[in-house]
Amino acid sequence: MFRKLIIGLDWFNTIATKAAGWLATVLLMVMTTVVTIHVICRYGFGYSFVWTEEVARYLMVWMTFLFFPLGHKRGMNVAVDFLVVAFRNTKAGIALRLVLEIMVVVLAVFCVKISLGMIGRGMSTMTQALQVPVGLIYLVLPLSFGLTFLCAVEKVLELSARLAGQRVVAIDEETISTEDHGTDDEDGATLPAVAVGRSE
Amino acid sequence: ETTLNLTFLANQNDEDYDGAMVFKNYVETNTNGSVKVDVFAGAQLCGSAVECFESLKAGVVDIYNGTAGGAAVIYPPIQALDIPYLFSSDRVVMDVLRGPLEQQIRERVLEATNNEIMLLAIGQTGGWRGIGTTKKQVKTPADMAGLKIRTIESPIQQTLVRNMGASPTPLPFSEVYTGLTTGVIDGSLNSISDIVSANLNEQIKYLTLERNAYMTNMWYIGNTKFQSLTEEEKTVVLDGAHLFADVTFGVQPSKELAAYQAFRDSGGTIYIPTKEETAEFKKQADPVREWYLGQYGEEGKEFLAIIEDDIKQASDKIAAANQAAIANQ
Amino acid sequence: MTFLYIWFFAGFLIIGMPMVYMMLLAPGIALYLEGKEVFLNLLFQRLFAGIDSFPLMALPFFILAGEMMTAGGVTQRMVNFANALIGHLRGGLAHVTVCSAVMLAGGCGSAVADASALGSIMIPAMRKSGYSARFSSAVVAASAVIVSIIPPSGIFILYAFIMNVSVAAMFAGGVIAGLLIAIALMIVIAIRAHFEKMPRADKRASMAVVLKTGREAFLPLMTPVILIGGIIGGVFTPTEAAAIAAVYSMILGLFYTKEIKFSGLPGIFARTALSSAVILMLVGAAVSFASVVSLKGTPQLVSSFVLSITSDPYLLFFLINVLLLIVGMLMDAGPAILILAPILAPVMTHLGIDPVHFAVVMSINMIIGLITPPMGLVLFVISGISRERVEAISLQLLPFLFAELCVLALITYVPDLVLMLPRALGYVQ
Ligand code: NA
Ligand code: NA
């Protein structure tokens, strides 16, 4: 039952975070195009649009929040992880990670709650250039933190199972084969694509 | 005991700060300390008009100010105040902003924000906006042809600049200095205070004071917070806010003196258009009015009519008073 | 109560909570316990507003440019060209690594990204030629630092964003420092090559090879020329320049080097978007955190404390550099700048240090922190590529680190080295 729940959650989270990620990718493409076309129009034809900067900014915001849950799922968020690494694969280490994940769950719940309030208030505030309600732009917030919440819950369940001596490793192709780089198996923290993200 | 968090985006050198300190002192003294005012200058609590008005609604910020361009995010038709060449003199504009228009705006903003935001009082922040250019002096609208002029993300400014044959270029204020240096832009619509406080006078050499807009500054309070005050406290806050607004009317022109001096010292030339040239500039406002009326329909029409009526009454009143004073030898 | 949030912050830091959550949770819990729940809205609103910034957009665009350059085979071409030029020197491949980093730096903005690209090419090549794995790793790590210092630079963008300093001025300020570090590294390599009898290529590359590799590297080498020319010439702003650099690198990869296939583009954009999302969220969280820092009056407390120690700007600058080096050992450059710059910079500018000067020195200090153990991201990446332990690489890294610290000291006490170019370009007074 427990096992099925974890595998089911992983299945859903994998699909949902990836779908959000592809949408975010498309937004980055649009963002690049918008800014490039604006430069060409302005320098080449002396024509500027009112809305390019605003649109590009909100595209970037959406891109960020849409891809954030996948970042959490893959453990890409940088941390000072001496302790976690030092006690890796021991009961104490797993318990520590469990505590950390539970705090993320709590945070995510708060974030969803606050963002719903923001959406409500934001419906009567218009953006500067396009004059659309900013509440619509805030819609990405509960989506992002809701998904982050589910990913964190999945990790909480998985870590609890491990603490109880059961090992349920959900199948996820990106998280294999980093064992010998000295990070925990499912964190995948030293994959090149991941490493890029950690500092700049 | 209640605390009011007051914030504005300008720094401590701005007249907003002087006004805020007067407000703080007035309110804290006259409520015998039952209302405390904390002043946060600069973008400490929020960083843009959208964010600050959102914070006002959320109760994070209690008092915040907005120019007509900024307040457009909560009540778009307010941009009527930014229609170019609407106001003609300081005395008229001060009379209008202190008059019945205040209550008009208060009611409209309350309605637009579902009773969440209330206008306290209207002052000014920066005086008149002019046209600052780096290389070419602008004497008539025709001189604007081909120039790349920085505007805010406001359709009003964009329409005005485009209509003069220039190319409007929206840039964040923080990028204006570099933009002027490199030539991404040839000029900017700004007041003398903003030009000098951002060191733009190192690049901008010509300032044409055709007075396309007056930088009104509306101080708002979160209505939930306001309603939580007692009747007496409300009165003190309103009185304090009007004192605050009057301080900005007075302090800004005096601070402007130093800005003019700094502008001239760095080799800048100020140009005041002649009567004929001013008439040329005023014609440029027509397409902006059309845009405004098309955009905001009946409500916009009604609001603009109120403002114009107020302006006419104030102008007539002041003209009559002047006549009487001049006639009285 | 004033510092409650700092205690939470320290506690979470030690137990290994990811920074992005820590910067929201620590002040969040503190505010909650103090009964200021309304300020939780402030935290969250600032998170959104911190990301909602046009200048910050240069960051994803420069990451995109870097991804395009790597995928387009640009790194290999630059290495080939550098090898043809100086591969025949003793310790040739080590010199080649430094020069390649300088060439790459003009288009790429991230030391961490570059470390993986340069490392995966140079480390195997150097090992094949008889260099030790730990020495090769150390050379790549030390060189990667240059990529983040010579413009464009992601770290500089972060600093400019949080402190409202001109990005263009900071970029100009990093050029000489970056070149000085390259020279310093090459001096260390030359000395060690002489005493340790390091390998060299059998013979000097012929003129034909130099020309051929030069021609192949020419268009990629034009990236910085287009960037700088475009910014100085008023064609675009630094943010827009980043987008143009990305598009230019994409066109090169698609049609010139032909190493990028159209079918590969979605993957490149996806990697960029994911990396950017993680960093931008960190930026947003740092802005939230910073708002509580200033709400609590922490900067004033810190500055009055610091000024009670000394008000001599030179001594203070030294102390701050030492503090930052220690911070750099424990923390990543991005979050460190986002948290500390708003606290430290006002103190220094108050004492008359030029804001751009301090901005560049502090950023470079934190960039060097990317290769200082125990917490050094570049070091981790290199260790992943070379399979060499971080401690072993660190030992080999010491002389290079020393050289870089000498340059840091130099630019700290000779401000002109930083300010000369921005002044000449009219970006600072
Ligand atoms: Na670079
Ligand atoms: Na470090």
Counting as contact any 3 or more CB pairs under 8 A, the partners of C are A, B
Task: Assess if residue C5 is contained within a domain.
Answer: no
pLDDT at A171 over 70: no
Instruction: Choose between C290 and B83: higher pLDDT.
Output: B83
Facing residue for A67 by CB, picked from C66, C158, C274: C274
What are C69-122's pLDDT values in tens digits? Answer: 888 888 888 888 888 888 888 888 888 889 888 888 877 777 877 787 788 788
- Residue B236 is predicted with a pLDDT of 96
CB pairs under 8 A between A and B: 66
Q: Does residue C175 sit within a domain?
A: yes
Structural domain that includes position A101: 2-194
pLDDT category at C396 given cuts 50, 70, 90 is very high
Interface of A with C in 85-104 (CB under 8 A): 96, 99-100, 103-104
CA dist., res. B145 & res. B284, Å (int)? 13
Is A185 a residue whose pLDDT tops 60?
no
- Cβ distance B251 to B111 under 8 Å? no
Place of tokens 């300008």: B10
Q: Does residue A200 fall inside a structural domain?
A: no
pLDDT over threshold 90, residue A80: no
Q: Which residues pair with C92 in a beta bridge?
A: none
Q: Please state, for a pLDDT cut of 90, what percent of chain C lies above it.
A: 27
Question: What was the pLDDT predicted at B329?
Answer: 67
Flag whether pLDDT at B208 surpasses 90: yes
pLDDT at residue number A173: 34
Residue C201 pLDDT: 67
Cβ pair B167:A42 closer than 8 A: yes
Backbone angles phi, psi at C52, to 5 degrees: -80, 70
pLDDT of C294 higher than 80: no
Contact status, residue C358 vs residue C349, Cβ threshold 8 Å = yes
How close C92 gets to chain A, by Cα (Å)? 27
pLDDT at B281 over 50: yes
Confidence class for position A168, pLDDT limits 50, 70, 90 = low
Q: C56 is written with which tokens?
A: 């910050």
Our CA dihedral for C107, C109, C115, C119, rounded to 10 degrees, sits at -10
Q: Residue A34: what pLDDT?
A: 94
Contact residues, B window 260-299, toward A, CB-based 8 Å cutoff: none
Q: At what angle do helices C58-71 and C207-232 cross, to 10 degrees?
A: 160
> What is the C-alpha separation between B278 and B141, in angstroms, rounded?
9
Residue A37: pLDDT band by 50, 70, 90 thresholds?
very high
* N residues, chain B: 329
Amino acid at C313: P
CB spacing of B182 vs C295 below 8 angstroms: no
- In whole numbers, what is the pLDDT of chain B averaged over residues? 90
B residues 75-94 near A, CB within 8 Å? 76
Say how many C-beta atoms besides its own lie within 10 A of residue C130's C-beta. 9
| CB atoms C168 and B182 under 8 Å | yes
| Partner-chain contact C278 A71, CB within 8 Å | yes
Chain A residues whose C-beta is within 8 A of a chain B C-beta are 42, 46-48, 50-54, 117-118, 121-122, 124-129, 131, 134
**Residue A200 confidence (pLDDT) above 80:** no
Res. A191 pLDDT band, cuts 50 70 90: very low
Nearest CA in chain B to C164: B174
Cα three-residue angle C321-C323-C327, rounded to 5 degrees: 115
Cβ atoms of residues B257 and B186 within 8 Å: no
pLDDT of residue B128: 92
Residue C213 belongs to some domain of the structure:
yes
With 0-12 / 13-18 / 19 or more C-beta atoms within 10 angstroms meaning exposed / middle / buried, residue C64 is: buried
Residue A109 resides in a domain: yes
**Spatial distance between the Cα atoms of B304 and B293, rounded to a whole number of angstroms:** 9
Q: Angle C159-C413-C323 (CA atoms, 0-180°, nearest 5)?
A: 55
* Pairing between β-strand B63-66 and β-strand B206-222 as defined by DSSP bridges: antiparallel
Q: Does C379 reside within a domain?
A: yes
- Amino acid identity of A119? I
Contact C126, C356 (CB under 8 A): no
Residues from chain A contacting residue C44 (CB–CB below 8 Å): 111, 114-115, 118
Nearest C-alpha neighbor of C46 from the set B58, A66, A150, B96: B58
Around Cβ B163, how many Cβ atoms within 10 Å? 19
Contact criterion met (CB < 8 Å) for B175 and C426: no
Q: Are A196 and C63 within 8 A, CB to CB?
A: yes
pLDDT in tens, C355-383: 999 999 999 999 999 898 777 778 877 88
Ligand 1 centroid to C66 CA: how many Å? 9
Domain hosting C203: range is: 23-33+45-424
CA atoms B139, B145, B149, B154: torsion sign: positive
**Regarding predicted confidence, which is higher, C113 or A128?**
A128
Q: Place A178 in a pLDDT band, splitting at 50, 70 and 90.
A: very low
Residue pair C208/C391 in contact (Cβ under 8 Å)? The answer is no
> Which bound ligand lies closest to the C-alpha atom of C141?
2
Question: Average pLDDT in the C382-401 region?
Answer: 87
The pLDDT of residue A182: 33
3-class SS at A89? coil
Residue C49 touches chain A, beta carbons under 8 Å: no
CB contact under 8 A, B153 and A129: yes
A185 secondary structure, DSSP code:
T
Which ligand approaches the C-alpha of residue C178 most closely? Answer: 1
What proportion of chain A, given as a percentage, has pLDDT over 90?
48
Contacts of C284 in chain A (CB under 8 A): 64
Q: What is the DSSP string of A148-176?
A: HHHHHHHHHHHHHHHHTT-------GGGS
**Pairwise CB contact (< 8 Å): C45 & B46:** yes
In a domain? residue A199: no
Task: Give the total number of structural domains in chain A.
Answer: 1
CA distance to partner chain A, nearest, from residue B265 (Å)? 33
Across the range A142-169, mean pLDDT stands at: 88
Measured between CA atoms, how close is A183 to chain C, in angstroms? Answer: 10
Would A102 be classed as within a structural domain? yes
Is the Cβ of A63 closer than 8 Å to some Cβ of chain C? yes
Q: Compute, in angstroms, the gap from residue C375 CA to the centroid of ligand 2.
A: 4
Which residue has tokens 């901005």?
Answer: C359
pLDDT score at A197: 30
CB contact under 8 A, A35 and C333: no
Mean pLDDT of chain A: 80
**A120 in a structural domain:** yes
Nearest CA distance, A144 vs chain B (angstrom): 20
Task: Please name which of B251, C157, B221, C362 lies closest in space to residue A199, comparing C-alpha atoms.
Answer: C157
d(CA C47, CA A118): 12
Structural domain count, chain C: 1
Mean residue pLDDT of chain C comes to 86
Chain A residues in contact with C158 by the CB 8 A cut-off are: 200
Looking at the DSSP bridge assignments, the partners of residue B39 are: B6
Of the listed ranges A100-104, B44-48, C156-160, the one predicted with least confidence:
B44-48
Judge if pTM exceeds 0.90: no
d(CA C356, CA C374): 29
Contact residues on chain A for B50, CB-CB shorter than 8 A: 125, 127-128, 134
Question: Is B159 an interface residue toward A (CB < 8 Å)?
Answer: no
Nearest neighbour of A126 by CB, restricted to B73, B116, B172: B73
> C-chain residues within 8 Å CB-CB of A22?
270
Most confident of A156-170, B255-269, C58-72, C322-336: B255-269
CA–CA dist A92, C55 (Å, integer): 44
Between B109 and C233, residue with greater pLDDT: B109
